Amino acid sequence: MRLVATLLRGPGALLALTLVARPGLAQAANTAAPAGPAATGTQQLLLWFLLGTLALVILLIGLLTATLVVRLRPQLRRLYELPTVRPTWSGRVLGLAVGDTTLVRGEVRDEVLDHDYDGILEFDNDLPPWWKYGFYATIVFALGYLSYYHLSGTGQLQGAEYAAEMQQAALLVSADADDPNQLTAYAALTTAGDLSSGKSLFTTNCAPCHGVNAEGKVGPNLTDEYWLHGGEINHVYKTIKFGVQGKGMVAWKGKLSGKQILQVSSYVLSLQGSKPAGAKEPQGEKEAPAKPVARL
């Protein structure tokens, strides 16, 4: 007991109390930890309450204003008829409250001009103010748009915005071998063995749509310089591996290995300029072959 009393009276009192209170503090911290989502929910409820209250106040002010305008309409009419009030801008706004829409429709004078086109007369009336001010607003907007996007270069044009969005989207896609957005860096195979294997695979799997000599049937002609999805070896590889959705070109990923797809792609490029009989009309964009490819 004396030891305990000494600790409580001396410098060790704080340490002893901390050790004793530590489990309680930990328990309190664990209890208070889940309060984060509850606090967030309370803040959201408070925000919606304030927004609802603000909307209700605005509605009440609008109703009171409309009631006052209806009750004071005779007095407002007499005020509007004053010659010093009616021509002014505030007077025209006041005219809307008493039923005069000149501020919106403009002055309708119905003055006949001395123009006569086959009996058709022309009136000299003002353009509606809402139309004129809207036109002025479009001029201001056009100047701001020109300055922001073209002169200062602060804003991104359509092409730059598209490129930025594509870069952001690429970050969300895995960059592995099964990523259709990642183009491979293969070179075309030119050995006789690879081209022979590619020809065998092409005859078995591709000839029903593209023809035995790749002249084109349901699918396009693969022997000319025109390509729908790119004629470089890696573009052909990508088309064969992932297919083309909605165009009838099936994906051969999982059916052929990567080496087999490269062999077929290389064989297809070896047929460039072979001009088979009954070749289908060109389709797509013209592309010159990047490098000559050996043929069988």
* Ranges 59-73, 84-98, 215-229, 277-291, most confident: 215-229
Residues for the chain: how many in total?
296
> What's the pLDDT at 58?
95
Residue 32 included in any domain: no
The domain containing residue 226 runs over which residues?
Answer: 192-275+282-286
Structural domains counted in the chain: 3
Residue 56 included in any domain: yes
CA atoms within 13 A on the CB side of 164: 7
Q: Does residue 296 carry a pLDDT above 60? A: no
Q: Alpha-carbon Rg of the chain, whole angstroms?
A: 40
| Residue type (1 letter), 200 | S
Residue 222 included in any domain: yes
> What's the pLDDT at 295?
58
Q: Does residue 107 carry a pLDDT above 80? A: no
CB 266 within 8 A of CB 184: no
CB 187 within 8 A of CB 245: no
Are 115 and 59 members of one domain? no
The tens digit of pLDDT for each residue in 160-184 reads 889 888 887 766 655 566 777 778 8
Residue 115 included in any domain: yes
Q: Shortest CA distance to 193 belongs to which of 266, 132, 124, 244?
A: 266
Residue with tokens 């013209």: 286
**CATH number for position 226:** 1.10.760.10
**Reduced DSSP (H G I as helix, E B as strand, rest coil) percent helix, strand, coil of the chain, to 5:** 55, 5, 35
Are 227 and 249 members of one domain? yes
pLDDT, mean of residues 103-126: 75
